[in-house]
Amino acid sequence: MRILVFEFASGGGLAGRPVPRSLAREGRAMLTALVADLARIGRHDIVTTADRRFTLRAPRGVDVVSIGPGGAALDDLIASVDAVWLIAPETDGWLEGLAAKVERTGRMLLGTGSAVIRRAADKQRLPRRLARCGLTHPPTRVVHRRAEARAIADDFGYPIVVKPARGAGCEGVRLARNGRELRAAIHAVGRCATQNVLVQRYIPGVAASVSLLADGRRAVALAANGQAITAGSTLSYAGGRTPLDHPLAERAIDAAIRTCAAFPGLHGYVGVDLVLTSADAVVIEVNPRLTTAYLGVRSAINRRSGSGNIAEMAIDACAGKLPARPRIARHVRFTSAGRVVSL
């Protein structure tokens, strides 16, 4: 196949507009790793894109096309390939809109379709969907007026999490420890969010994620990962470690697989974020896309077995063929900037 890999932040999705540094850094790190893995398969022609403000080190034989003002049009590139792999956040409907664009062309989407992205990204309805499957999720409510937020905070107790109803990872998520911080968080999130503002009980514990592959009906776990999250007035993600050594790691994997079952139609690489308490694995959100943990998982699994290329396994999963759970060969720590070190 001829495969287009389109990374939104550094690949031209924000051409002509400011690009948040952290978003571009994480996106470029994932793009570099994914393109290298796809090229390593050796059976596909790979093309990717670049915003002229960013550099990309691509393997020999990979076509890099400048896109945006003065460059090629994304629609034309999509029309020239057989399949498209998107790397983009759910923020402002970016991932959903790109998936819909690919679907309209009839090209193969190496990932989840737009309708399922919309459902998975809706944090307002997530608690109800998870509850139907017997999965634990933090108590969450929609805030319509500031007075409601104060009443909810009194009910939940501080600290409390304020987040947009749609978003990616820690983006736009704030932590309020008192009424003054709550007012500031509601104002900041409400000013930036195009959707409803949510208030959620803060769950203390170990921040974790599970990386999975899904075929639309079933999912297999690649690894449970620890997350390095800084909880100031805003929450920030800096990377993590793979695999996660925790007594509830397998429980997290089971909860993540059940979470995928709650969203039929998930395809390819999927991430599920959780918090591990002393007794439970609490599901926080679903990421129907490539996540930064890919950087660690691809380095941790056993490549000598001949089945250690996650990109190849994800393509197979999109075609309905799930792999066996791969063996972890080493422990690694990874950063959102793309650095990976063995532990």
Nearest to 171 by CA among 109, 119, 95, 112: 95
Amino acid at 117: I
**Residue 149: its pLDDT value, please?**
86
192-245: per-residue pLDDT in tens?
A: 555 688 999 999 999 999 999 999 999 999 999 999 988 776 778 899 999 999
CB crowding 163-183: b at 16 or more within 10 Å, else e: bbbbbbbbbbbbbbeeeebbe
Q: Which two tokens stand for residue 168?
A: 């990616």
- With bands split at pLDDT 50, 70 and 90, how would you rate the model's confidence at 165? confident
pLDDT exceeds 80 at position 190: no
- Report the C-alpha gap between 173 and 78 in whole angstroms: 33
The pLDDT mean for the chain works out to 91
- With bands split at pLDDT 50, 70 and 90, how would you rate the model's confidence at 148? confident
**Residue 55: its pLDDT value, please?**
80
Strand pairing category for 63-66 and 45-50: parallel
Q: CA 96, 98, 100, 102 torsion: positive or negative?
A: negative
Amino acid at 229: I
Beta bridge partners, 341, equal 333
pLDDT exceeds 60 at position 137: yes
Nearest to 236 by CA among 293, 174, 281, 165: 174
Separation of CA 273 from chain center = 9
**Residue 171: its pLDDT value, please?**
61
Domain ranges of the chain: 2-110, 139-201, 206-342
Provide the total of helices (H) and of strands (E) in the chain, helices listed first. Answer: 10, 16
What's this model's pTM, rounded to 2 decimal places?
0.93
pLDDT exceeds 80 at position 151: yes
pLDDT exceeds 80 at position 327: yes
241-271: per-residue pLDDT in tens?
A: 999 999 999 999 999 999 999 999 999 999 9
**Residue 168: its pLDDT value, please?**
53
**Residue 126: its pLDDT value, please?**
93
Answer whether 197's CB lies under 8 Å from 141's CB. Answer: no
Q: Which CATH superfamily, name and number, covers 206-342? A: ATP-grasp fold, B domain (3.30.470.20)
CB crowding 57-79: b at 16 or more within 10 Å, else e: ebeeebebbebbeebeebeebbe
pLDDT exceeds 90 at position 16: no
Q: How are strands ordered across the β-sheet holding 174-176?
A: 140-143, 197-201, 160-164, 174-176
- Report the C-alpha gap between 192 and 308 in whole angstroms: 40
Q: How are strands ordered across the β-sheet holding 332-335?
A: 281-287, 267-276, 206-215, 219-231, 235-242, 332-335, 340-342
pLDDT exceeds 70 at position 191: no
> According to CATH, what is the number of the domain 2-110?
3.40.50.11770
Separation of CA 338 from chain center = 15
**Residue 22: its pLDDT value, please?**
84
Contacts of 131 (CB under 8 A, 6+ apart): 137
Answer whether 213's CB lies under 8 Å from 321's CB. Answer: no
299-320: per-residue pLDDT in tens?
A: 999 665 556 899 999 999 999 9
**Residue 91: its pLDDT value, please?**
84
- 139-201 maps to CATH 3.30.1490.20: yes
